[in-house]
Amino acid sequence: MPPLQRRFRSAVVREPGDNLALGLTRVDLGPPDIARARDQHARYCAALERCGLALTVLAPDARYADGTFVEDTAIVLDDAALLCRPGAPSRRGETTAIRNALRTLGIAVDVIEGPATLDGGDVCDAGDAWFIGISARTDADAATALSNWLGTRGYRCTAIDIRGMSSILHLKSGIAWLGGRTLLLIDELQSHPAFAGYERILVDADEAYAANAVLVNGHVLIAAGYPKLESRLHALGHRTIALDMSEFARLDGGLSCLSLRI
């Protein structure tokens, strides 16, 4: 049985490029300020380092405006990874640099075969259980392939169909695992039967963006500017690190998507 809570040692990140504004988005928040995005990214990297992670920092690639959202490109365990086939065709080539970076870190890399499509943002690692979103980016074939890949490694997987939930791009836009049997959830997801056995922390509708938080070695990284959730997490005994994500939010990007944690 895999350990319930992984201790992360490292992370792969990719700096935002000059053409970040050309990235995909469904939200109408205006274009990102590139200098501010770089600053936010640097602070995000510093937070990961504060949590004890050694970083592999990849340079931007002008061909991939969304390349900074590295989480979508691979599912990573301690020593093995499954390279995704992103649902957006413009993002498919992002995986080459990620595969090379993972191999350099000594991680064996398998590949999801087309035509199945999988975005890492749809994959929620909740310890021994994993949840896989079926979305506009991730299809049922990919969910089956990933379930099989994780199943041989001792993990249980449950598919969650989010195609009717227009407020979220990926499953993890609306859910985060906070360790043990605790999940942070948006309203649309909280009554899903797959989460029935969990202690569920409901994120208020006006703070829904903050549902995309990340547990890293005893710290919960959350988006800055969501005081109700932050004080709730403090009251529950969580240590939080709040990070300004404003420029990535303009690209539909959540906090988790900026790193591959290993």
Q: Which residues are catalytic?
A: 170, 257
Q: How far is the CB of 69 from ligand CIR (least distance, A)?
A: 4
Residues 164-223 that bind ligand CIR (CB under 6 A): 170, 173
* Options 159, 222, 252, 262; binder of ligand CIR; rule CB under 6 A: 252
**CB 12 within 8 Å of CB 98:** yes
Residues 132-171 that bind ligand CIR (CB under 6 A): 170
Tokens standing for residue 206: 């006006």
**CB 183 within 8 Å of CB 198:** yes
| DSSP per-residue letters across 103-125 | HHTT-EEEEPPTT----GGGEEE
Q: Residue 71 interacts with ligand CIR (CB under 6 A)? A: yes
Cα distance between residue 253 and residue 248, in whole Å: 5
H helix and E strand count, the chain: 6, 15
Q: Residue 116 interacts with ligand CIR (CB under 6 A)? A: no
Q: Residue 250 interacts with ligand CIR (CB under 6 A)? A: no
Q: How far is the CB of 140 from ligand CIR (least distance, A)?
A: 19
Residues 22-61 that bind ligand CIR (CB under 6 A): 23-25
Cα distance between residue 172 and residue 157, in whole Å: 15
Residues that bind ligand CIR in the complex, under the rule CB under 6 A: 23-25, 66, 69, 71-72, 88, 91, 121, 170, 173, 251-254, 257
